A and B are shown apart, each in its own frame.
Chain A
Amino acid sequence: MMQALREHPSLRVAALMAPGAFWLLLFFLAPLTIMGVISFLSRDAQGFPTPPYTLENYLTIVRDIRFAPSLSFEGGLHVRLFEGLYLDLLWRSIWLSLLSTLLTLLLAFPVALFMAQLPRRYRNLALFAVMIPFWTNFLVRTYALQFMLRANGPINTLLRALGLPPLELIFTPTAVMIGLVYGNLPFMILPLYTSLEKFDWTMMEAAHDLGADTWRAFTRVMLPLISPGLVAGSILTFVPAIGSYITVDLMGGGRTNLIGYSIAQQFSASVNWPFGSALALVMMVIVTIAAVLYFRSARGTQRVLI
């Protein structure tokens, strides 16, 4: 056995990978397969999965989509060709998650840039500071955030003290957005920081030297060179956002529905496991396709760097 391991490097790699692979197989692939099977089952009187096999759960989603071209000017121009409960839900989820990713990026970039330019000995301290929130349970932190935004919470107390009208924050889409950005900020900062720390600032000087102003040096040289961090951070932010449950539940109070929340509802309140499974798999496929396309679009610049 040991002899074989010594002689065949590929066996050695396989041996090293085995525990991790086993773990994923047992706790990721197996449940996913079970979920796939459930999504083709019917539900019994209590809502739990039971034979016979059916396509009904997927057909519900497809049947829900109606061709209904419409045009509205309410709150900006809206052109739509299709409508449907789950289509709208998915579309809104993608849109809100993208928006939260963009906001997170805008907030994270200056922080990561600042950290990367700190003297070396302060950088680890800054990294440490970014990771401190992880020491508190996410649920507890979300409750704290909920408390901050409440009608009589610290923010509104402060506003009233300043003679300003209070804001209706909690249980609004804005609150969900605040929660998502807050929760995902470290996952954007860390990969961005890693890319920025490796960034060679002589590149910016070279760009300036060749006649690029600050904006063009940033877009033509810096952005492509830090794109690995940008892509990693965006995916680490977008994917949890679209599937988020706790934040949507506690900050949105069930009034702002995202698809992840809706799926969770199928497993709890609505007790419809087969339909919940189908919805989850459809979402997974769509998110995976989106992520692959995103990776592809960034690959032109990554090919050189990875």
Chain B
Amino acid sequence: MAEYAVELRDVTKVFGDVVAVDHVSMAVRPGEFFAMLGPSGCGKTTSLRMIAGFERPTSGEIYIDGKPMGNTPPFRRNVNTVFQSYALFPHLTVEQNISFGLEMKGVPRDEIKRRVREVLELVRLPQMANRYPRQMSGGQQQRVALARALVNRPKVLLLDEPLGALDAKLRKEMQIELKNLQREVGITFIFVTHDQEEALTMSDRIAVFSKGRVLQIGTPLEIYERPANRFVADFIGETNFLDGVVKEVNGEMAVIEVNGRRFVGRAGEGVRPGVRASLSVRPEKLQLLDQPSGSPNCYEVTVSSIAYVGSDTRVIVRLGDQMIDVWEQNSISTLDPNYFFGPGEQAWLSFPPENGLILVD
């Protein structure tokens, strides 16, 4: 078995004068659940389509199971796609849709019947074989699309926003189901999504795309806790940015000055004394206190507004002319309104240095 199920080496795709994918390199390991995450137009779908063979790279090479794909057409690649629109054949029944790929490969009739039955069990639609796609709900069609791809036992399954058309609740269910399914079948999944929560929940690793480039590849933990740059920190989850200038760097830590106030945080890549940078600190990693803490990152702030959302209390505070989001977990059950800060009150904002990340733009 090749070291990587899919590998992109310096792949670029140009449409007219638009660079859709810009020197992208990434390697997906066998059996991995790999997400390509980014806003629309970031090149993630084009990358997926190049792996499937619907588009040819302008330059660079794509390897599937160690073999360079070159001009190999889609029907000779050992990958299958679950399309965003599902693309089920409306003139064929569920069973005929799922059989299609196996018929094209010349698999014997009885084996086709058996494998179709198995895969329908797998996606939990055993009674639906004779339905037509339009007679099914969106969620059921989604499972059929999945079954139609999986029945071919591809080396790699490509999924283009497969949950995009489902409503929020069904989507949550399918996220878990899809993840379990992937573990069960052991096939490499490459998954395109613009939903960061979806990517974090499901993936082993995530490639974050922006403007045709890959900004960071890492586990959900790495992407969330150690974003490589400002875009990733901003795109994944919520964060506060405090813009300033780097004053000192001591190993892993650095000091940044923001409007005359100094903060200590982890130094990101390229952080040197004198460069412009941003302190990124996530709202749930901040504390609001009645009195100063011992942290070097502790300043008096004014509470601007407060929103009780059940699990959290979301407070917006003002530090100088900067607004900062603070999410405090409601870990104590109380009906006492005085437990919470009120608008206009003074408080101390504090966070330990390891909770802050200093990033060069």
Contact = CB atoms under 8 A, between A and B. Distances in A.
A225 B75 contact: no
A205 B74 contact: yes
A225 B91 contact: yes
B105 interface: yes
A7 interface: no
Interface stretch (B25-33, B80-88, B161-169): B80-88
Interface stretch (A20-28, A62-70, A103-111, A211-219): A211-219
Nearest to A212: B104
Residue among B75, B88, B91, B148 with max Cβ neighbours from chain A (10 Å): B91
B336 to A, nearest CB: 58
Interface string A194-219: 00000010110111111111001000
Question: Contact size class for A?
Answer: 20 to 34
A161 to B, nearest CB: 44
Contact of A209 (B80, B85, B132): B80
B101 A211 contact: yes
A206 B132 CA distance: 17
Nearest to B81: A209
A257 interface: no
A210 B80 CA distance: 7
A203 B89 contact: yes
Question: Contact size class for B?
Answer: 20 to 34
A245 to B, nearest CB: 39
B87 A205 contact: yes
Contacts, number: 63
A230 to B, nearest CB: 13
A221 interface: yes
Given A216-B104, A304-B132, A209 B91 contact: no
B101 A301 contact: no
Contacts of B83: 202, 205-206
Contacts of A30: none
B16 to A, nearest CB: 13
Nearest to A216: B104
Contacts of A32: none
B100 interface: yes
B90 interface: yes
A159 to B, nearest CB: 43
Contact of B74 (A208, A216, A220): A208
Contacts of A216: 104
A264 B115 CA distance: 62
Given A210-B80, A213-B73, 19 more contacts: A200-B85, A205-B54, A206-B89, A207-B89, A208-B73, A210-B75, A210-B101, A210-B104, A210-B152, A211-B101, A211-B152, A212-B75, A212-B100, A212-B104, A224-B91, A301-B91, A304-B132, A304-B134, A305-B91
